[in-house]
Structure 1
Amino acid sequence: MLVILTDEQILSTQQVCQGCLLANQEGSPRWHHGKLDCGHALRSSGNHKLALYQCQMGFKVANIE
């Protein structure tokens, strides 16, 4: 599940990505083959339970399995 992390909240990608020009046609982040295509990886945990990315718009996106 992809979520947006802020300093104070965890937000649904639907709340943030709907208005993004880089989102896919459904208004979701461009997630393809296990990576965020509209951003870059910041870190990944060793057990692959959490992957952290930063999108082109500056938001931190976490993939939580």
Structure 2
Amino acid sequence: MTMPCRSVERGASAVEYGLLVSGIAAVIAVAVYAFGGVAGEVSLDSCKHITSATGTTISTSCE
């Protein structure tokens, strides 16, 4: 008896979705690696601007 075609297609679909999710995860990892330093600098600059504009000291340091 041969295997129904539907179960084979279901397995192929699962593999395709797995590859798709892996590809998206790789793109996200590369983007975080590439832009991670820039994002850190932006948040540090924002913290310094807020501290200097308000003239208050924050209990945690900006760095």
TM-score, shorter chain, exceeding 0.5: no
Which protein shows a greater Rg? Answer: 2
Looking at secondary structure, tell me which structure has more helix per residue. Answer: 2
Greater length-normalized contact order (CA 8 Å, ≥ 6 residues apart): 1
TM-score range, shorter chain: under 0.3
